[in-house]
Amino acid sequence: MYYGGIEAGGTKFVCAVGDVHGNILERVQLPTLTPEETIPKVIEFFQHHKIQALGVGSFGPIDINVKSDTYGYITSTPKTAWTNYPFLQALQMELHIPIGFNTDVNVAALGEVTLGAAKGLESCLYITVGTGIGAGAVVQGNLLQGYSHPEMGHILVRRHENDTYIGKCPYHKDCLEGLAAGPAIEERWGKKGVELAHDSKVWEIEAYYIAQALMQYILVLSPEKIILGGGVMKQQQVFPLIREKVASLINGYVDLPPLEEYIVPPSLGDNAGITGALILAKQSEV
């Protein structure tokens, strides 16, 4: 049995056909343009395959409350062409199969807890630090959801004493995303993070903000594993700095596993999201 998966990001859509073990039969990558340009190509890809169900992990904010009139919509996204777009309904209208719909970070968390770095655990936190910052949480084996999905990238953090950068978030300026996402790094320093790999002060400030966020997540959610993904986190030199600062901030208040095993990169790498989408597709059949 094959399933379909969509990892819908702000810059690209990854569409794949595979099984629930993460084996991918075929995949394509499409640029995220307008819905009128992108969605017909997505639908066409899946119409050429016999799939049992489809799982979608989307950029957001999105409405994942099944009781809501706008369930399945992309809502107040900064990508104006996609604002209030009925994403799920557009797919259902053409594909006529069960479709699971959730956030891109939630499906990545689902992938990692099922087949990746948190396999065998009951809880984990998956955080992506890239164009934006978002997090998905698995608690007692289930994706965390309340009124809507968590927006952990927009918490407030204390400003680093040497950081005068105003912040990039269009809603909150100097929230976590506004200070630590990829575009903030580039605007603050005048270069992309990948070009600043050997500049220690860049990663000192980055680790300072991420560690504060992790402290708050640890104290609120107590995850069994924290997984840090996204383009910025490909700078492996920041991991030891984050762990060091988390240890300092927690200051022995709660017992944690060895941080080298607790705060880790995704073991599924760039496939965490699409793998989670395939697993979500299987779950949607129930």
| pLDDT at res. 182 | 96
Does 169 share its domain with 80?
Answer: no
Does 276 share its domain with 151?
Answer: no
**Predicted confidence (pLDDT) per residue in 82-102, tens digit:** 999 999 999 999 999 999 999
CATH code, 103: 3.30.420.40
Question: In this structure, what DSSP letter does residue 159 have?
Answer: P
Does 102 share its domain with 164?
Answer: no
Does 275 share its domain with 252?
Answer: no
113 within some domain: no
Q: What is the mean pLDDT of residues 262-284?
A: 97
| pLDDT at res. 286 | 76
**Predicted confidence (pLDDT) per residue in 114-146, tens digit:** 999 999 999 999 999 998 999 999 999 999 988
**Predicted confidence (pLDDT) per residue in 187-216, tens digit:** 999 999 999 999 999 999 999 999 999 999
Half-sphere exposure of 92 (CA within 13 A, CB side): 12
Cβ 274 vs Cβ 27: under 8 Å: yes
Helix axes 238-250, 200-221, angle to 10 degrees: 50
Number of domains the chain contains: 2
From 134, 122, 128, select the one nearest 223 (Cα to Cα): 122
Does 259 share its domain with 276?
Answer: no
* CA–CA separation, 143 and 137 (whole Å): 6
Cβ 74 vs Cβ 82: under 8 Å: yes
Mean pLDDT of all residues in the chain? Answer: 96
Q: What is the mean pLDDT of residues 146-160?
A: 94
Does 98 share its domain with 208?
Answer: no
| pLDDT at res. 240 | 98
Q: Give, in order, the Cα–Cα distances in Å from 73 to each of 58, 140, 187.
A: 10, 27, 31
pLDDT band at 61 (very low <50, low <70, confident <90, very high): very high
Residue 222 belongs to what domain range?
Answer: 119-265
Does 276 share its domain with 195?
Answer: no
| pLDDT at res. 79 | 85
Does 71 share its domain with 158?
Answer: no
**Predicted confidence (pLDDT) per residue in 69-81, tens digit:** 999 999 988 788 9
